[in-house]
Amino acid sequence: MDLSNLTIHQINDLLKCREVKSVDITDSYIKRIKEIDPIISAYLYNDFEEALSNAEDADKIIQKNSDFPYLTGVPLSIKDIFLIKGKRTTCASKILDNFISPYDATVIKRLKKNNYVFIGKTNMDEFAMGSSTENSAYKITKNPYDLNRVPGGSSGGSAASVSADLCAGSFGTDTGGSIRQPASLCGVVGLKPTYGLISRYGIIAFSSSLDQAGVIANDVLDAAIMLKAAVGFDEKDQTTRKLEIKNYPEIVKKADKLTMKGLKVGIPVEFFSEGLDPKIYLKIMEIKDLLKGLGASIVDISLPDTKYSVAAYYVIATSEASSNLERYDGIRFGSRFNEDKNLQSLDELYKKSRELGFGKEVKRRIILGTFALSAGYYDAYYKKASLVRKLIIKNYKDSFNNVDIILGPTSPTPAFLIGEKMSDPLSMYLSDIYTISINLAYLPALSLPIGAVENPTKKGGVLPVGLQLISPWATEERLLSVAKVIEDEVKFREKYTPVM
């Protein structure tokens, strides 16, 4: 039996009735990774020994107990931005090439408590800066639906690893769209929770007021299961909130069509602007009609200030990044590039390490952010962007006085070709035009695969399309329930399979 194309809840069912062992499941993922990953390049590295030993531990727990956490014995991949004690964490950067994590991120600690199986670290854009995973210093990940196309980014390795069945689920991070956009491009579910719901402790910082860990999964119930395992207050991250932990999986299981009756669904005019692929527009409209048919009321809304979100984001995110990345100087943190023994001063050592350690996009962001924060420019850039952020927060708040949930596209286009946007940073930045404002507003959002469009460069091929759902602060259960109802209607997993 091929055990590597199951959902987490299916794996859990099999383990519960002791039909298979976690070791068998893990073994089948390992076989598939060995066969397929040399083509997809979703992983930066795997640790099969560790995976099998985690699986054996899980099997012992399963033997002894009839009740065990959902993730027990489930092989998951982890974006290479999370610290795992004793393991290499590179953030896909040369500057962290030989960095071994001294401790576990809180998310990892929680996963270990749930007896998960660690199967490998996934590729990403360097320091999570990018939308295609092409900014990785190590390799280019391919989209499992078309090997000539990008998987999206920055959690592209995570999305590709779930889509190509190289793990059962993946943890990623989302600062401006990095979970939702790759999930959309790879035909999987991506959930970026409310800021503060999951601890950022032990996750390498890019932009601290925007970064949020989240999940990439095969279906909505799996996303709920993974979310529940990771959430909760953490005294090591002062931005986490003491919120009631909801039983997301049980809530999702109860979601049904009837609950759509009377649901107020907001359609923001700004999310259907020029630049949106007309075929994606039509797909989103099909879902709007579907919800209407189920008794939801559709409300046209406006989020007028979201048109400034990309601009505000690239001031705030680069400013925070320039400060967060200051620590990589080749002495306190980061590889020291001192082969050149002629270096005359400490300053030269810093410069050399940063020059050789960081890639082009990271340097571009550090320069932009340093400029935005410099004396005399602070008011014109950072302060102004923060004011715009407040307006965006208010736009959403006002809208949620009238609607329960907001619906739109995740990405303006399906997966683009490798190399297509690399020479034009602005067009790359626009890939996140529909996702960025949500991070600025600290809100939760989910990308759900709802169908596919024809692949223009591959006869008979298709490219997945993602729908984005946005809900008020800390209402992930609403997002998940609505997504589950749509998922049951569109049956994406039954209709589409990647080429790899």
The residues assigned a catalytic role are 79, 154, 178
- Between the CA of residue 187 and those of 52, 151, 239, 456, 467, what are the distances in Å? 28, 10, 31, 17, 10
Question: With respect to ligand GLN, which residue has the nearer C-beta, 77 or 178?
Answer: 178
Transcribe 409-474 into DSSP letters.
ES-SSSPPBTTSSTT-HHHHHGGGTTTHHHHHTT--EEEEEEEEEE-TTSTT-EEEEEEEEE-STT
Minimum CB–partner distance for residue 279 and ligand GLN (Å): 23
Question: With respect to ligand GLN, which residue has the nearer C-beta, 144 or 176?
Answer: 176
Minimum CB–partner distance for residue 127 and ligand GLN (Å): 8
Question: With respect to ligand GLN, which residue has the nearer C-beta, 130 or 169?
Answer: 130
Minimum CB–partner distance for residue 325 and ligand GLN (Å): 13
Residue 69: partners with Cβ closer than 8 Å, 6 or more residues away: 113, 114, 115, 229
For residue 22, report the phi and psi dihedrals to the nearest 5 degrees. Answer: -60, -35
Question: With respect to ligand GLN, which residue has the nearer C-beta, 140 or 299?
Answer: 140
d(CA 220, CA 185): 17
Minimum CB–partner distance for residue 243 and ligand GLN (Å): 23
d(CA 346, CA 348): 5
d(CA 90, CA 122): 10
Minimum CB–partner distance for residue 128 and ligand GLN (Å): 4
- Between the CA of residue 82 and those of 150, 164, 206, 238, what are the distances in Å? 22, 22, 12, 18
Question: With respect to ligand GLN, which residue has the nearer C-beta, 8 or 128?
Answer: 128
User: Which positions touch ligand GLN (CB under 6 A)?
Assistant: 128-131, 154, 174-178, 206, 317, 432
Scan for tokens 């920055």, then name that residue: 154
Q: Are 217 and 167 in contact (CB under 8 A)?
A: no
d(CA 251, CA 483): 12
Question: With respect to ligand GLN, which residue has the nearer C-beta, 128 or 215?
Answer: 128
Q: Are 306 and 355 in contact (CB under 8 A)?
A: no
Minimum CB–partner distance for residue 229 and ligand GLN (Å): 22
CB atoms within 10 A of CB 158: 41
Q: Which residue is nearest to ligand GLN (CB)?
A: 178
Q: Which helix (H) or strand (E) holds 301?
A: strand 297-301
Question: With respect to ligand GLN, which residue has the nearer C-beta, 121 or 484?
Answer: 121
Question: With respect to ligand GLN, which residue has the nearer C-beta, 82 or 206?
Answer: 206
Minimum CB–partner distance for residue 258 and ligand GLN (Å): 36
Beta strands in 109-252 (DSSP E): 117-122, 169-174, 189-192, 212-217
CB atoms within 10 A of CB 478: 20
Minimum CB–partner distance for residue 308 and ligand GLN (Å): 16
d(CA 172, CA 212): 9
**What is the 3-state composition of the chain as percent helix, strand, coil, each rounded to the nearest 5?**
45, 15, 40
